Amino acid sequence: MEHTHQLEPNKWVDRYSDYLFNYAVSRISDTEMAKDLVQETFFAGLKSAKNYKGDAAERTWLIAILKRKVIDHYRKINSKKGKAEVRMPQSFDEESGNWAEERVADPYSQAGKSQLENEELGLAIQECIAKLPKKQSMVFTMKTIQGISTEDICNELGINPSNLWVMIHRARTALMGCLNQNWF
């Protein structure tokens, strides 16, 4: 089977910057850091372009790089040792030939009532997450959005599972209140 995917770095910013930024900000809730991570992703992509085999679409390849940048970001701010292993589940849909992560946060998806409504809800959720206390926001994002295991989060943050679940419960309650007030 011949690979048809080729890199076009001169078109990355126009094609992928919004998508990558939305992906990053939904995971770290810090717009400036998200911008930095996207920029780092483009630089890393340029540096490792010679290793690109064309097995995946350009956007999928860039998202994989960005995922590593997000993980490194959390390791840097949360880990004294920086040795935690983070598992990010991915699944390949053989029928459509797409990776599941491409469908999850795709701003162009028509899965909802309208693209504008999806974007507005996404922004409302991001704003509400940003209003949470820092540690609550971090725990909620790591567990609920990134799907990191309870054990890994507890090891990273030096908390026990009871603390984690209390923080997640409080975050969910606060998010629902915030969304009810600002969205519904």
CATH number for position 136: 1.10.10.10
Contacts of 116 (CB under 8 A, 6+ apart): none
Residue pair 96/60 in contact (Cβ under 8 Å)? The answer is no
Domain membership of residue 40 as a residue range? 1-109
The answer to whether residues 127 and 103 belong to one domain is: no
Q: Are residues 116 and 97 in the same domain?
A: no
What confidence score (pLDDT) does residue 124 get?
79
Distance CA 7, CA 48 (A): 11
CATH number at residue 75: 1.10.1740.10
In this structure, the answer to whether residues 105 and 115 fall within a common structural domain is: no
101 with 143, same domain? no
CA distance to 21, 24, 32, 156, per residue, from 28 (Å): 11, 6, 10, 16
Residue 70: name the closest of 30, 16, 18 by CA. Answer: 30
Last residue of a domain, one of 84, 109, 134: 109
Amino acid at 64: A
Asked if residue 95 and residue 181 are part of one domain, the reply reads no
Q: How confident is the model at residue 4 (pLDDT cuts 50, 70, 90)?
A: low
Residue 83 and residue 6 share a domain: yes
Residue with more model confidence, 75 or 112: 75
How distant, in Å, are the alpha carbons of 10, 139, 151, 180 from that of 59? 14, 28, 31, 34
Same domain membership, residue 100 and residue 24: yes
Per-residue pLDDT at 42? 92
d(CA 87, CA 114): 32
For residues 28 and 90, membership in a common domain is answered with yes
The last residue of a domain, from among 109, 135, 163: 109
Residue 180: pLDDT over 80: yes
Residues 117 and 43 in one domain: no
Closest CA to 148 of 87, 94, 90: 87
pLDDT above 70: residue 16: yes
What's the chain's average pLDDT?
Answer: 77
Q: 116 and 105 in one domain?
A: no
Any alpha helices (H) in the chain, and if so which ranges? 12-28, 31-47, 58-78, 100-104, 115-131, 134-140, 150-157, 161-182
> What pTM was estimated for this model as a whole?
0.45
Question: Per-residue confidence at 89, pLDDT binned at 50, 70, 90?
Answer: very low
Q: In the predicted model, is pLDDT for residue 99 greater than 60?
A: no
Average pLDDT over residues 46-65: 85
Instruction: Give the mean model confidence (pLDDT) for residues 127-133.
Output: 88
65 or 125: which carries more pLDDT confidence? 65
- pLDDT of 94 higher than 60: no
Number of domains in the chain: 2
